[in-house]
């Protein structure tokens, strides 16, 4: 079993440069990164970061703001990306017939009843939530922030939906509240992006990312592991690019194959293999080892809607998968960033 041993060269501990509002990390003289805010996890978790920043758990509430996507021709009825759910990412449970404020209030009621929650992030999740005129975006973001208990915003979008006026608007929200731009990339390989019908290349992502960072925005990059045609090495190439950029956050998605998608049709014809559980756990551990310890890990896996999930069915036991990832890191005596 490979191990990332924590070798400490003497007792000296050096503070790393301040990363703004991120948790302070430390580096030993031997060059090994450590975090004193990982809540004993072997990675820098987003939930622990939020708890430290706001003094308690923060719950994200997904909302559908009524946007579409340029990859669907401006409607919600065209094909879009190969893997895309017709209802948009994370649409399960969202009551899209309600206003933004009503959706958030409904989510708050559930979170408060189940977890006694007090702090919330409004997460503009399905489709491309910057694809609109700045005045329209402002009205919808403000409606969310006006809901009591909202401590910030997370806005999901694509690299080709971030013209300068929109980025300038997002920078206003970054200064005004706690704000994350969640940017879908999936892979750094243009051949994969073309196969997925993403409608943009890696250069478009780099341009959008650079423009966002020039404005000081926190950026969480979404990656999909297990994409058709990608090898283990291909996936680690994408991770190496994220490490090179030292992105603020990463959200890892296991490729889910859903009924009603173009990818689902290919899977039924036997044209799309899926990752097995043990392979995924090994892969995520490899990913964590290669990401810098300063990168916040927003997600390590996901679970698709049970009634429409074709594969992989093992993903439905999300907590078992998460525990297995942590166990694998423990077996390796490993931690995030040890191979960065």
**295 is written with which tokens?**
């990168």
- Contact between residue 61 and residue 123 where contact means Cβ atoms under 8 Å apart: yes
Tokens 């650079």 belong to residue: 210
Fold annotation for 39-331: pyruvate-formate lyase- activating enzyme (3.80.30)
CB 293 within 8 A of CB 33: yes
DSSP 64-115: --S---GGGTTSSSS--STT--TT-TT-TT--TTS-HHHHHHHHHHHHHHHH
**Greatest Cα-to-Cα distance within the chain, rounded to the nearest angstrom:** 61
State the Cα–Cα distance between residues 91 and 64, nearest whole angstrom. 8
DSSP state of 40: T
Residues 308 and 261 sit within 8 Å (Cβ to Cβ)? no
Please report which helix (H) or strand (E) contains residue 135, including its range.
helix 134-145
Structure tokens at 135: 């005045």
- 252 Cβ contact partners less than 8 Å away, ≥ 6 residues apart: 223, 225, 284, 287, 297, 299, 300, 301
Given a contact cutoff of 8 angstroms between Cβ atoms, the answer to whether 193 and 187 are in contact is: yes
CA dihedral 332, 334, 337, 340 (to 10 degrees): -40
Residue linked to tokens 């919330």: 120
Task: Tell me, letter by letter, the H, E, C secondary structure of 172-185.
Answer: HHHHHCEEEEEEEE
List the chain pLDDT tens, one digit each, 340 residues.
455 654 333 333 323 333 344 443 433 333 344 443 445 899 999 999 999 999 999 999 999 999 988 876 655 455 678 888 776 666 566 888 899 999 999 999 999 999 999 999 999 999 999 999 999 999 999 999 999 999 999 999 999 999 999 999 999 999 999 999 999 999 999 999 999 999 999 999 999 999 999 999 999 999 999 999 999 999 999 999 999 999 999 999 999 999 989 999 999 999 999 999 999 999 999 999 999 999 999 999 988 889 999 999 999 999 999 999 999 999 999 999 999 9
Compute the Cα dihedral for 21, 24, 27, 32 and give only its sign.
negative
Q: How far apart are CA 258 and CA 305, in angstroms?
A: 8
Question: How far apart, in whole angstroms, are the C-alpha atoms of residue 81 and residue 336?
Answer: 31
Cβ–Cβ contacts within 10 Å for residue 22, how many? Answer: 19
Query: What global pTM score does this model have?
Result: 0.88
The three-state secondary structure class of 27 is strand
């Amino acid at each position: 079993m490979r191990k990332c041993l924590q070798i400490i060269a003497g007792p000296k501990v050096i503070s790393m440069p301040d990363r703004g509002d991120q948790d302070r990390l430390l580096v030993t003289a031997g060059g090994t990164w450590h975090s004193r805010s990982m809540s004993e996890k072997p990675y820098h978790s987003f939930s622990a970061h939020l708890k430290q920043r706001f003094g308690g758990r923060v719950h994200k509430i997904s909302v559908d703001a009524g946007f579409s996507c340029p990859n669907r021709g401006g409607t919600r009825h065209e094909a879009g990306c190969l893997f895309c759910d017709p209802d948009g990412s994370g649409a399960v449970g969202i009551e899209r017939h309600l206003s933004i404020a009503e959706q958030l209030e409904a989510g708050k009621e559930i979170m408060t009843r189940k977890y006694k929650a007090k702090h919330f992030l409004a997460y503009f999740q399905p489709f491309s939530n910057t694809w609109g005129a700045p005045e329209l975006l402002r009205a919808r973001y403000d409606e969310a922030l006006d809901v009591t208990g909202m401590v910030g915003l997370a806005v999901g979008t694509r690299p080709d939906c971030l013209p300068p006026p929109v980025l300038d608007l997002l920078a206003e929200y970054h200064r005004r509240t706690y704000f994350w731009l969640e940017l879908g990339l999936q892979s750094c390989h243009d051949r994969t992006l073309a196969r997925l019908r993403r409608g943009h290349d890696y250069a478009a992502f780099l341009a959008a990312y650079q423009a966002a960072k020039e404005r000081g925005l926190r950026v969480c990059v979404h990656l999909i592991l297990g994409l058709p045609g990608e090898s283990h090495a291909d996936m680690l190439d994408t991770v190496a690019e994220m490490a090179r950029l030292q992105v603020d956050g990463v959200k890892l998605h296991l490729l889910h194959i859903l009924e009603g998608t173009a990818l689902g049709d290919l899977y039924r014809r036997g044209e799309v293999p899926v990752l097995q559980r043990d392979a995924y756990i090994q892969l995520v551990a490899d990913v964590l080892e290669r990401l810098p310890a300063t990168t916040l890990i927003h997600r390590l896996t996901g679970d698709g809607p049970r009634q429409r999930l074709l594969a992989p069915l093992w993903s439905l036991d999300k907590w078992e998968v998460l525990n297995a990832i942590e166990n694998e890191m423990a077996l390796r005596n490993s931690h995030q960033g040890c191979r960065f």
